[in-house]
């Protein structure tokens, strides 16, 4: 996603973009080897959808036509948080729910339609090529996956979007640069997902279910979301080492252990349409490329290759979209002050700008994960404890106050910055809120009218 969206932005500025991809890409929305996380639940948050829609007009409608399911959060989604069910009267935001392969296939098809974009599939980037003094990247070496043959590709700008497995730090070391600092916060979380056919005649006043975690006490959680093909994607997650099993009996016992048992009840009579698929590798990890004392010209790193988030907050694809948006802004600003073809300074400025826009998402994700005593990587300091206390107050208010629930949903959807939670109306709601109805209470019914029109 980061590579596709960066290519989309670059297409407005350059004569040719070559997308190098190790996989031979499927024509349809199918799973592929280079995207092991693709079998797990993926939600594109509101902000990410807005950026993608801006870059690829008609994206949401195309996704919906291909089977994606339109829903509003929280109106159509029953969300159980630590303090109770989220108030469904909030306006919140709209999403189109689909599997990751379908979300990506729609973006890929549109990006590959651009006349300046070409795809070099079945090729793996093995290293960077650079000027003799290592100060400027001049291209990449690629290896054909089928016969191992290698070729050098020259480029004015190289963008690494190779995901969590990116070798950028090693490549930089090969050019003589010092090792970048690495920050990690590991909540020891794993996923296990399975698809089900929605039973004929099923009806409920909600479209999706989110039984979220309540750290540090509740480390097991689960989501049920509609996806294309009239299916439900049921995603089970466990932090602190309480991983959902991937065998039939263990997975079923895990889903039954979630309170209330709404997901277990839904799937009791539903036909599975996939095996159970597990996934580890969810640590929050960011490379501080922005703090390197020295950085080569003409080399950029985007997406998970820079910052990979614990995925339960759904930030990864949205941050990939924001990285593309940031790249566009940097390219436009650079054009205003430099001669055509002069890219000096662009790379450093981009990595610093990217670190700035990623910081709130990093804080949200790591701060929540630090509630688990089993999380490793960083101690939860004094500031974190105050933040946790206030977030709990906001979470409580969001169960009974649609205005607070609306702002809360918008912050989670990355439409508003976390500072929106400090607005006077939210502050007042948070300070007077009592804890809402817990899992023992039924979820609130779908409201006939929303009380927070915009």
List residues binding ligand FAD (CB under 6 A): 1-3, 20-23, 34-35, 37, 40-44, 124-125, 161-163, 165, 191, 279, 282, 303-305, 311, 314-318, 320
CA pair distance 25, 226, nearest whole angstrom: 25
Given a contact cutoff of 8 angstroms between Cβ atoms, the answer to whether 159 and 137 are in contact is no
Minimum distance from residue 2 beta carbon to ligand FAD (Å): 3
CB 298 within 8 A of CB 138: yes
Q: How far is the CB of 303 from ligand FAD (least distance, A)?
A: 2
Cβ of residue 229: shortest distance to ligand FAD, in angstroms?
18
**Rounded Cα–Cα distance for residues 148 and 142 (Å):** 9
How far apart are CB 89 and ligand FAD at their closest, in Å? 25
Among the listed residues 103, 53, 92, 60, the one whose alpha carbon sits nearest the alpha carbon of residue 324: 53
Say whether 37 sits in a helix, a strand or coil: helix
Cα(first)–Cα(last) distance of the chain, in Å? 31
Minimal CA–CA distance to 369: which of 185, 195, 205, 230?
A: 185
Closest distance to ligand FAD from the beta carbon of 195 (Å): 15
CB closer to ligand FAD, 89 vs 279? 279
Nearer to ligand FAD, 182 or 385 (CB): 182
How many whole angstroms separate alpha carbon 182 and alpha carbon 402?
Answer: 40
Long-range contact set of residues 253-259: C-beta below 8 Å, sequence gap at least 24: 254/192, 254/220, 254/222, 255/222, 257/220, 258/211, 258/220, 258/221, 258/222, 259/211, 259/439
Report the distance separating Cα 317 and Cα 306, nearest Å. Answer: 13
233 vs 430, beta carbon nearer ligand FAD:
233
Nearer to ligand FAD, 377 or 438 (CB): 377
Q: Minimum distance from CB of 225 to ligand FAD (Å)?
A: 9
**Enclosing H/E stretch for 107:** helix 100-112
Query: What residue spans of 177-226 are helical by DSSP H?
Result: none
Instruction: Tell the smallest beta-carbon distance from residue 404 to ligand FAD (Å).
Output: 24
**CB 121 to ligand FAD: min, Å:** 9
Q: How far is the CB of 432 from ligand FAD (least distance, A)?
A: 33
Least Cβ distance, residue 180 to ligand FAD (angstroms) = 17
Please report how close the Cβ of residue 349 comes to ligand FAD at its closest, in angstroms.
20
Q: Are strands 123-130 and 137-144 parallel, antiparallel or unpaired?
A: antiparallel
> What is the secondary structure of 315-380 as a DSSP string?
-HHHHHHHHHHHHHHHHHHHHHHS-TT--TTHHHHHHHHHHHHHHHHHHHHHHHHTTSTT-BSS--
On whether the CB atoms of residues 98 and 68 are closer than 8 A, the answer is: yes
Residue 210 CB, shortest distance to ligand FAD, in Å, is: 11
Closer to ligand FAD by Cβ: residue 143 or 450: 143
Residue 419: HSE in the Cβ half-sphere, 13 Å Cα cutoff? 2
Measured from the CB atom, the residue of 158 and 426 that comes closer to ligand FAD is 158
- By beta-carbon proximity to ligand FAD, the closer residue of 266 and 317 is 317
Rank residues 16 and 269 by Cβ distance to ligand FAD and give the closer one. Answer: 16
Of 29 and 44, the one with the shorter C-beta distance to ligand FAD is 44
Rounded CA gap, 415 and 411, in Å? Answer: 6
Which residue has tokens 């988030």?
A: 309
Buried/exposed 9-48: b ≥16 CB within 10 Å, e otherwise: bbbeeeeebbbbbbeebeeebeeeeeebbbbbbbbbbbbb
- Cβ distance to ligand FAD smaller for residue 22 or 91: 22
Going from the C-alpha of 170 to that of each of 128, 176, 184, the distances in angstroms are 10, 10, 18
Backbone angles phi, psi at 52, to 5 degrees: -60, -40
Closest to ligand FAD by CB, 36 vs 377, is: 36
Give the residue with the Cβ less far from ligand FAD, 84 or 171: 171
């Amino acid at each position: 996603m980061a590579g596709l969206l960066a290519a989309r932005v670059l297409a407005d500025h350059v004569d040719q973009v070559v997308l190098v991809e190790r996989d031979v890409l499927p024509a349809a929305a199918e799973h592929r080897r280079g995207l092991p996380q693709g079998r797990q639940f993926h939600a594109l948050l509101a902000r990410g959808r807005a950026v993608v829609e801006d870059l690829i007009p008609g994206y949401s409608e195309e996704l919906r036509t291909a089977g994606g399911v339109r829903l509003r959060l929280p109106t159509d989604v029953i969300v159980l948080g630590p303090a109770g069910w989220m108030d469904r009267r909030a306006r919140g935001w709209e999403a189109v729910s689909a599997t990751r392969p379908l979300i990506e296939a729609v973006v890929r098809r549109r990006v590959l339609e651009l006349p300046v974009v070409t795809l070099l599939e079945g090729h793996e980037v093995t290293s960077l090529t650079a000027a003799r003094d290592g100060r400027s990247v001049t291209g990449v070496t690629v290896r054909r996956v089928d016969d191992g043959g290698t070729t050098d590709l020259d480029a004015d700008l190289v963008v690494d979007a190779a995901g969590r497995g990116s070798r950028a730090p090693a490549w930089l070391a090969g050019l003589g640069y010092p090792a970048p600092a690495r920050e990690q916060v590991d909540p020891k979380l794993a996923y296990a997902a399975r698809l089900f056919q929605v039973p004929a005649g099923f009806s409920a006043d909600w479209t999706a279910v989110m039984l979220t975690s309540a750290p540090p006490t509740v480390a097991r959680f689960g989501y049920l979301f509609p996806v294309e093909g009239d299916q439900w994607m049921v995603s089970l997650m466990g932090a602190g080492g309480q991983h959902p099993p991937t065998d039939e009996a263990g997975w079923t016992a895990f889903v039954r252990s979630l309170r209330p048992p709404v997901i277990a009840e839904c799937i009791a009579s539903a036909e599975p349409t996939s095996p159970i698929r597990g996934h580890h590798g969810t640590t929050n990890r960011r490379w501080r490329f922005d703090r390197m004392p020295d950085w080569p010209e003409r080399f950029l790193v985007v997406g998970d290759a820079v910052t990979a988030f614990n995925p339960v907050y759904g930030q990864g694809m949205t941050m990939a979209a924001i990285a593309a948006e940031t790249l566009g802004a940097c390219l436009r600003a650079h054009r205003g002050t430099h001669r055509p073809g002069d890219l000096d300074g662009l790379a450093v400025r981009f990595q610093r700008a990217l670190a700035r826009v990623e910081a709130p998402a990093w804080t949200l994700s790591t701060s929540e994960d630090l509630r688990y005593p089993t999380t490793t990587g960083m101690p939860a300091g004094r500031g974190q404890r105050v933040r946790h206390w206030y977030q709990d107050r906001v979470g409580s208010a969001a169960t009974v106050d649609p205005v607070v629930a609306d702002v809360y949903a918008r912050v989670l959807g990355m439409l508003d910055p976390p500072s929106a939670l400090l607005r006077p109306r939210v502050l007042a709601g948070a300070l007077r809120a009592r804890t809402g109805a817990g899992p023992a209470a039924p979820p609130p019914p779908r409201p006939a009218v929303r009380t927070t029109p915009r």
